[in-house]
Amino acid sequence: MRILLVEDDCLLGDGLRLGLAQAGFTVDWVKDGVAADAALAANDFAAVVLDWNLPRQDGLALLKKVRGRRDDTPVLMLTARDALDDRVAGLDAGADDFLIKPIAIAELAARLRALTRRAAGRGEPLFRHADLTLDPARRSVQLAGRPLDLSVREFDLLALLIAQPGRPLSREQIENALYGWGEEVESNAIEVHVHHLRKKLGTDWIKTLRGVGYVLKPENVA
């Protein structure tokens, strides 16, 4: 899951980036509101972790601008402000959730999973598709009750596909969702990950649609 982290404190930002990466997130990090605005206008993110106090443009002003252009990306605001009026102002401006500093990575990761789950219209924390069950919190996968050993990229790709069953995803969409800025992506990286997943799941689980992309098989297909 690719998220945008907007935090000007270098020590805190680096800790959040590393902690979220260890929790399975792909993190792009910017340090001011103007850079965040440009990043959101040019990229698709599953969620945004947004600090309130930022240089060049504060988090609340950025949030209002983003919502004003009808960008519904889930936003979790970070703040040292614990006053009720501040939280109300943030929520009314379009924030989806708040965390008061200091921050526990485990809670931040859980809140991000919950935000993206709600944004997708799901209540259940697990993804289920036919005999396949994927648990984002534990980063585990079972096929017909049997645990599967997947690499980080294989898990992330399968999570992307199972989150949107029946919807084909192009290679470009998958790359944009799985890889952050500065990460080198081999020209055949997605094809390699799909090949490895098919070996572990079964060759019929991931369908290739020529000129379109990849999709999980329909649930009613054996």
**What mean pLDDT value characterizes the chain?**
92
Quickly count: other Cβ atoms within 10 Å of residue 96's Cβ: 20
Q: What is the pLDDT of residue 16?
A: 97
CA distance 143 to 134: 9
Joined together, the tokens standing for residue 84 give 């009720």
Q: What is the pLDDT of residue 186?
A: 84
Span 50-83, pLDDT tens digits: 999 999 999 999 999 999 999 999 999 998 877 7
Q: What is the pLDDT of residue 219?
A: 61
Q: Is the pLDDT of residue 217 over 90?
A: no
Q: What is the pLDDT of residue 218?
A: 67
Q: Which residues contact 68 (CB under 8 A, 6 or more apart)?
A: none
pLDDT band at 115 (very low <50, low <70, confident <90, very high): very high
Spatial CA neighbour of 49 closest among 113, 5, 81: 5
Span 19-53, pLDDT tens digits: 999 999 999 999 999 999 999 999 999 999 999 99
On whether the pTM is more than 0.85, the answer is: yes
CA distance 178 to 79: 28
Span 124-133, pLDDT tens digits: 899 999 999 9
The stretch 11-25 carries a mean pLDDT of 95
* Amino acid residing at 173: Q
Q: What is the pLDDT of residue 221?
A: 46
Q: What is the pLDDT of residue 208?
A: 92
pLDDT band at 120 (very low <50, low <70, confident <90, very high): confident
Q: What is the pLDDT of residue 123?
A: 85
